[in-house]
């Protein structure tokens, strides 16, 4: 479902038929996380909305909606009604592919008719829309029947010049230049007026009895402040009043509303106070708050400018994974013999899956693909964090953004543009800002009441100080003298000053920025080291992690097996060793297990063929073995002699002198009789699988298996027509740094447990080599899942490690599912963390990094909450009895400082390094 692809939580719906479409929008005017939360909440009330995710840092939103009930323009209009500016970046119909082409030399409507007719004759083209005024064509097509290159080539063959228009919404989303420029301009404008305000405050810092009265009730000081304050009040109206108006209209609240109330009350109180003074006492001019609007706007714009710079800095980690800006690629056509017949430079936008392109030395790879010709070293430091160049040969994968260093490579395209591994990593980082960690539930709860609480506290402060002032004015002004001061003026001035200071000190942006910047920085660091954090799960559970539950195959070991020994239990006359290899290889070719792949490849290499025999009635039981019927191997054996085997593979085979029991001899005769029919029932697996298939295993056979298992190898029995005739010993190489990683986990007080389908002897040998004390051997996938769930019921928080899709159920049910290996990236949907590089140490790095991100988020939120509580108390005048009070602009300066501190705290993660050992 589309909502799952975006990492969104779908809204419950009773609709029977839903036609889902994803709408990407650029939303300007958001100042804090509460703005994003307001948009999400209000849109989710709209009928037809399936899911909503709004990202504060990139000022974007993704809306999945039912096109049967709603139109994109209605979603955009609803956001604008909330006081934000919304523009549509892209709309993705989940059921069709579409391209938009600029056609330069359209001359008449007749051209349009001919062009539409020609395009609609292309198989797979569904709709063609051409607008003559804009010279644009929108073509929707079935990607299984038609492709972009074919459509564009058709238009060009008709004599038209084309230019493919791309709507790379994520590329646009990751740019913060407009916000940076906007708030920089506002800050510079505000400070031009604020500097003279400060000069006036210093110059006229004198007793009210020495005022210079210019007009009745208006002093020179107040007149200058009024002249300097009014332009800023107008500037503020342009920046924050529209959003404040919509917030009031739709009964929502945001940071703009708080600033609006603060500077407006300060301005109106000052003007009214001067008017009243001119009427009641024209010989004096009152104390005013006219210095606050310019100073507060300067501080707010500075804070917003710094926030925009911080957002831009945070999004750098996502931008580095965006597709290359190169516009052309070298497309090649290969002949039947693999030689290049034709080379052509084409726009990268026209490339598609399956194309063959040539990567020249010292150039950047533009796509994901597989090498089909050539050999070279490739620098993958950008995409995988590998500092050492990696050797690439035929069959190896290459990734976009890596750099070819030595020789030309011919690759087959598997992913391009926004479908590459690099772009998917960028998308994970980009979506990271929208992750909802558990502690954010607290901030979301606060968001619903924050503004009401602040305004209520401001009003309570105003009322309390008015009551206190009229009860005992000397509690406000310790040197109050009724001959020179008016009780009403002193009381109201102080009461309004503290009430405005409460509004100015409350700064929800600090709460809103505490999480997303830390998340996107931390996820970016992980991605640069080949670690993909895919959701909230690891962030929520990493702190309490107690147990690591890891698979032996592909995790502790490399997952690549090698055949070390082929052992026969019967005489050469009963079953030749070449036939034993052929039967085992043919049977195992139908399985995808790493051991099966090793045996099959060994047999293919042995016989120098690609197909070993025909297999039918294939059955595989996870953790036990396989059984099937093998036929048509005689042609394979005719060209192979025992002498060749003993000469070329003398060290591979072991001739057994084990005597054959009478029962075994009878079964061997049965084997020889069926040999004439050329059909074999083959069973390969462990002891338990042999017992299930009623195949006798003697003590001598068991001893041979134990000898291999105690050396850490997997011994598989081969039974043909109900007789155990041989054994294959397979060895997996332990990862070079597995023991270091296990030791590091144990130093973190994690209980490391290994599970495997191998027998206990092999498992114990491997576990002892890497320092694991607890293991579960001879387990199936269902029993492994049962063990995991039993641990969780005991209160353990478990991280499970796997390396392929067979581990998906365990990864999905674990508190943290971790997939490891270059073949695991983005393929195991159930994993919440993916380790792209085959490096077990990165698991330790991932756990430590996730814990660090979590600690930083908690630290940021603790600072933000503590400051808002303490700041409100100080602004309300709780320390006034000891002579400490905050003027509104001072309170706002403290608020902006805390916001900057939280931003710097989050950005400091960029330099955070973890030593895994």
CATH 3.40.1110.10 residue ranges for the chain: 557-637+676-733
What does the alpha-carbon distance between residue 319 and residue 171 come to, in Å, rounded to a whole number? Answer: 8
**Mean pLDDT of all residues in 333-349:** 78
Residue 626: per-residue pLDDT = 92
What's the pLDDT band for 90 if we cut at 50, 70, 90?
low
pLDDT at residue 675, as a whole number: 45
Residue-averaged pLDDT of the chain: 78
Q: Which fold has domain 97-165?
A: Alpha-Beta Plaits (3.30.70)
Q: What is the largest CA-CA distance in the chain?
A: 128
Is residue 120 predicted with pLDDT exceeding 50? yes
CA distance 642 to 655: 13
pLDDT by residue (tens digit) across 165-216? 654 544 544 455 677 788 888 888 888 988 888 888 888 775 555 677 787 8
DSSP 20: E
pLDDT at 684: 93
Q: 908 or 807: whose pLDDT is higher?
A: 908
Q: What is the pLDDT of residue 6?
A: 40
- Of 268, 382, 381, which Cα lies nearest the Cα of 319? 382
Higher pLDDT, 323 or 506: 506
| Calpha distance 439→485 (Å, rounded) | 51
145: tokens are: 């029947």
First to last CA, the chain: 41
Which of 642, 631, 562 shows the shortest CA–CA distance to 594? 562
pLDDT beyond 90 at 400? no
What's the pTM value of the predicted model, to 2 decimals?
A: 0.68
Q: Retrieve residue 477's tokens.
A: 């002004």
658, pLDDT greater than 50:
no
DSSP-derived 3-state class of residue 136: strand
Pick the range with the lowest mean pLDDT from 219-233, 395-409, 426-440, 901-915: 426-440
Q: Give the DSSP letter of residue 552.
A: I
pLDDT of residue 849: 87
Long-range contacts of 119-122 (CB under 8 A, 24+ apart): 119/151, 119/154, 119/155, 122/146, 122/150, 122/151, 122/154
Query: According to the 3-state scheme, what is the secondary structure of 473-534?
Result: HHHCCCCCCCCCCCHHHHHHHHHHHHHHHHHHHCCHHHHHHCCHHHHHHHHHHHHHCCEEEC
Q: In the β-sheet with 376-379, what is the strand arrangement from edge to edge? A: 363-364, 403-404, 376-379, 390-392
Decide yes or no: CATH 3.40.50.1000 for domain 531-556+735-836. yes
pLDDT given for residue 17 in this prediction: 53
Q: Which two three-digit tokens encode residue 198?
A: 């400060």
The confidence score (pLDDT) of residue 378 equals 87
Range(s) of the chain covered by CATH 3.30.70.100: 20-91, 97-165
Give percent of the chain with pLDDT exceeding 70.
Answer: 80
- The two three-digit tokens of residue 607, written as one number: 């016989």
State pLDDT tens for residues 832-844.
888 877 778 888 8
258: which residues sit within 8 A by CB, 6+ positions away?
451, 454, 503, 506, 508
pLDDT at residue 676 in the model: 47
H or E, element range at 50: strand 49-55
Most confident of 294-308, 417-431, 810-824: 294-308
Q: Cα 824 to the chain's mean position, in Å?
A: 16
**130 pLDDT band (50/70/90 cuts)?**
confident
Q: Could you tell me where in the chain the CATH 2.70.150.10 domains are found? A: 328-434
- Residue 327, pLDDT above cutoff 60: yes
Q: Which CATH number applies to 557-637+676-733: 3.30.2350.10, 3.30.300.30, 3.40.1110.10, 3.50.50.60? A: 3.40.1110.10
Greater pLDDT, 640 or 541: 541
Q: Strand, helix or coil at 51?
A: strand
pLDDT band at 462 (very low <50, low <70, confident <90, very high): very high
Q: Using an 8 Å Cβ cutoff, are 52 and 63 in contact?
A: yes
641 pLDDT above the threshold of 60: no
How far is residue 44's CA from residue 49's CA, in Å, rounded to a whole number?
6
Q: Which residue would you say has higher pLDDT here, 724 or 642? A: 724
pLDDT of the residue at 461: 93
Residue 597, CA atoms < 13 Å, CB-side half-sphere: 7
- Whether the Cβ atoms of residue 19 and residue 68 lie closer than 8 Å to each other: yes
Residue 15 has pLDDT above 50, yes or no: no
What's the confidence (pLDDT) of residue 670? 43
Distance CA 305, CA 310 (A): 9
The CATH code that applies to domain 328-434 is: 2.70.150.10
pLDDT over 80 (residue 433): no
Cβ neighbours, 10 Å, residue 877: 23
Query: In which band, very low, low, confident or very high, does the pLDDT at 457 lie, cut at 50, 70 and 90?
Result: very high
pLDDT at 442: 65
**Predicted pLDDT of residue 438:** 66
| Selection from 523-532, 658-667, 857-866 with the highest mean pLDDT | 857-866
Check whether 655 has a pLDDT greater than 80.
Answer: no
Architecture of the 20-91 domain: 2-Layer Sandwich (3.30)
Q: How many CB atoms lie within 10 A of CB 911?
A: 7
**pLDDT for residue 654 is more than 50:** no
- Weakest-pLDDT range from 105-119, 286-300, 677-691: 105-119
State the burial class of residue 356 (Cβ atoms within 10 Å of its Cβ: 0-12, 13-18, 19+).
middle
Residue 445: pLDDT band (50, 70, 90) is low
pLDDT higher at 314 or 526: 526
Other CB atoms within 10 Å distance of the CB of residue 312: 18
pLDDT confidence of residue 335: 78
How far apart, in whole angstroms, are the C-alpha atoms of residue 179 and residue 732?
A: 55
Q: Is the pLDDT of residue 656 over 50?
A: no
pLDDT at 743 over 70: yes
pLDDT digits (tens, 9 = 90+) for 511-525: 767 777 788 788 888
What string of H, E and C letters represents the secondary structure of 109-122? Answer: HHHHHHHHHHHHCC
Q: Where in the chain is the domain with CATH 3.40.50.1000?
A: 531-556+735-836
Reduce the DSSP state of residue 285 to 3 states and report it. coil
């Amino acid at each position: 479902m589309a909502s799952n692809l975006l990492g969104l939580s779908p809204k419950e719906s009773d609709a029977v038929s839903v036609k889902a479409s994803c709408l990407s929008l650029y939303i300007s005017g958001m100042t804090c996380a509460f703005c994003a939360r307001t948009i999400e909440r209000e849109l989710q009330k709209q009928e037809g909305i399936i899911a909503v995710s709004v990202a504060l840092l990139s000022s974007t939103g993704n809306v999945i909606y039912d096109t049967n009930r709603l139109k994109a323009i209605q979603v955009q209009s609803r956001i604008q009604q909330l006081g934000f500016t919304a523009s549509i970046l892209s709309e993705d119909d989940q059921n069709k592919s579409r391209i938009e082409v600029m056609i330069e030399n359209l001359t008449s409507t007749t051209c349009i008719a001919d062009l539409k007719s020609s395009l609609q004759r292309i198989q797979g083209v569904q709709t063609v829309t051409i607008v003559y005024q804009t010279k644009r064509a929108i073509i929707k097509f079935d990607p299984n029947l038609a492709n972009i290159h074919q459509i564009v080539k058709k238009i060009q063959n008709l004599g038209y010049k084309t230019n493919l228009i791309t709507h790379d919404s994520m590329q646009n989303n990751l740019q913060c230049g407009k916000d940076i420029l906007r708030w920089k301009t506002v800050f510079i404008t505000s400070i031009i007026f604020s500097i003279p305000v400060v000069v006036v405050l210093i110059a006229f810092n004198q007793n009210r009895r020495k005022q210079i009265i210019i007009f009745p009730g208006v002093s020179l000081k107040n007149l200058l402040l009024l002249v300097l304050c009014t332009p800023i009040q107008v500037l503020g109206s342009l920046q924050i009043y529209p959003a404040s108006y919509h917030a009031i209209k739709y009964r929502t609240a945001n940071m703009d509303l708080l600033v609006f109330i603060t500077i407006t009350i300060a301005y109106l109180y000052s003007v009214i106070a001067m008017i009243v003074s001119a009427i009641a006492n024209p010989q004096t001019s009152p104390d005013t708050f006219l210095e606050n609007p310019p100073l507060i706007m300067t501080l707010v714009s500075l804070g917003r400018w710094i926030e925009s710079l911080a957002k831009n800095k945070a999004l750098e980690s996502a931008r580095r994974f965006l597709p290359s800006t190169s516009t052309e690629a070298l497309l090649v056509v290969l002949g039947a013999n693999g030689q290049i017949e034709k080379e052509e430079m084409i726009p990268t936008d026209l490339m598609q899956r399956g194309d063959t392109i040539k990567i020249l030395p010292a150039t950047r790879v533009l796509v994901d693909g597989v090498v089909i010709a050539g050999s070279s070293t490739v620098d993958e430091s950008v995409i995988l964090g590998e500092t050492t160049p990696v050797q690439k040969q035929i069959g190896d994968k290459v990734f976009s953004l890596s750099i070819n260093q030595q020789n030309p490579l011919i690759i087959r395209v598997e992913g391009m543009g926004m479908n590459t591994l690099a772009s998917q990593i960028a998308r994970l980082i980009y979506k990271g800002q929208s992750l909802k960690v558990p502690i954010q539930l607290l901030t979301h709860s606060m968001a619903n009441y924050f503004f009401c609480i602040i305004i209520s506290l401001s009003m309570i402060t105003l009322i309390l100080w008015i009551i206190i002032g009229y009860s005992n004015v000397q509690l406000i002004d310790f040197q109050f003298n009724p001959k020179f001061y008016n009780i009403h003026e002193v009381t109201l001035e102080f009461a309004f000053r503290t009430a405005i200071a409460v509004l100015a000190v409350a700064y929800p942006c600090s709460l809103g920025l505490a999480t997303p910047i830390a998340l996107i920085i931390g996820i970016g660091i992980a991605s640069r080291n080949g670690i993909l954090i895919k959701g909230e799960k690891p962030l929520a559970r990493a702190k309490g992690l107690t147990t690591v539950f890891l698979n032996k195959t592909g995790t502790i070991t490399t997952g690549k097996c090698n055949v070390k020994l082929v052992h026969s239990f019967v005489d050469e006359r009963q079953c030749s060793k070449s036939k034993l290899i052929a039967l085992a290889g043919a049977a195992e070719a139908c399985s995808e297990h790493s051991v099966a792949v090793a045996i099959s490849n060994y047999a293919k290499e042995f016989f120098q063929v690609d197909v070993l025999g025909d297999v039918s009635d294939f059955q595989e039981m996870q953790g036990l073995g396989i059984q099937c019927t093998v036929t048509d191997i005689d042609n394979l054996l005719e060209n192979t002699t025992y002498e060749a085997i003993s000469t070329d593979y003398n060290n591979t085979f072991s001739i057994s002198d084990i005597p054959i029991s009478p029962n075994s001899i009878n079964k061997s005769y049965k084997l020889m009789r069926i040999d004439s029919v050329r059909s074999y029932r083959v069973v390969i697996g462990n002891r338990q699988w042999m017992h299930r298939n009623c195949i006798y295993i003697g003590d001598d056979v068991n001893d041979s298996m134990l000898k291999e298992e105690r050396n850490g190898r997997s011994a598989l029995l081969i039974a043909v027509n109900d007789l155990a005739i041989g054994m294959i010993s397979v060895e997996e190489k332990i990862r070079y740094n597995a023991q270091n990683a296990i030791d590091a986990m144990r130093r973190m007080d994690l209980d490391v447990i290994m599970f495997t389908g191998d027998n206990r002897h092999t498992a114990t040998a491997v576990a002892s080599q890497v320092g694991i004390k607890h293991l579960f051997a001879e387990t199936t996938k269902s029993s492994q899942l049962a063990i995991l769930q039993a641990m969780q019921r005991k209160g353990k928080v478990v991280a499970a490690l796997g390396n392929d899709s067979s581990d998906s159920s365990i990864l999905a049910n674990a508190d943290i599912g971790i997939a490891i290996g270059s073949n695991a990236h983005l393929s195991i949907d159930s994993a919440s963390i993916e380790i792209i590089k085959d490096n077990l140490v990165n698991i330790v790095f991932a756990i430590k990094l996730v814990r660090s991100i979590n600690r930083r988020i908690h630290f940021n939120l603790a600072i933000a909450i503590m400051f808002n509580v303490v700041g409100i108390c100080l602004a309300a005048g709780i320390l006034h009895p000891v002579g400490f009070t905050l003027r509104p602009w001072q309170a706002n300066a403290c608020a902006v400082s805390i916001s900057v501190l939280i931003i710097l705290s989050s950005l400091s993660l960029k330099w955070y390094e973890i030593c895994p050992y």
